[in-house]
Amino acid sequence: MPEPGHKAAPEYLEINHPWVSHRHVPIYEWTFPAKASDEELARFVQAREEWATRAHYPVAWVVELSNLTRARATQRRAFAEHLKRFEGHDVLWNAGSALIVPSGWLRGLVTAVFWISPPKFPHQAFATRTDALEWAQLQLDAKLAEYSVHSQVRSRP
């Protein structure tokens, strides 16, 4: 049982889907696959949205997007709709999303899309997973420090 005045550490929850790695939780890594059916994408979206109803703690994301261009237009639209539904969770809890886009061309496309419709949380594109993980960890550390400062019970002198 936690001491009075101290919050218990959150229980980090897994997202029940094979596209998501939990190796560095609360940094969640997911990879858009080379080929995905509409049903697989729907299961991923459902798993992530269900997770968000219970995961009320700071997180960061590392997202491998090199296969994004292989998604059909209907899949990109379905994922965009998911991001709109997921925005409330992101605004509250997402310390940052590090997007792995090894191709300069794809990085430019992602940057352009976010310039037109910027997410309401920190985000940055990277060429390598290592750089993305390092940035995500820094963003998460800052969010956790901010959260800790605001969640402390202070005694009066």
- Please state the domain extents for the chain: 20-148
pLDDT category at 1 given cuts 50, 70, 90 is very low
- Does the domain formed by 20-148 have CATH 3.30.750? yes
Question: What does the pLDDT look like over 138-156, one tens digit per residue?
Answer: 999 999 998 776 665 554 4
Question: What does the pLDDT look like over 38-61, one tens digit per residue?
Answer: 999 999 999 999 999 999 999 999
Q: Rounded to whole angstroms, what are the CA distances from 86 to 10, 81, 91, 149?
A: 20, 9, 9, 26
Q: Rounded to whole angstroms, what are the CA distances from 128 to 32, 51, 101, 110?
A: 15, 27, 8, 15
How far is it, in rounded angstroms, from Cα 59 to Cα 12?
9
Question: What does the pLDDT look like over 55-86, one tens digit per residue?
Answer: 999 999 999 988 888 888 898 889 888 989 99
Are 97 and 63 within 8 A, CB to CB? yes
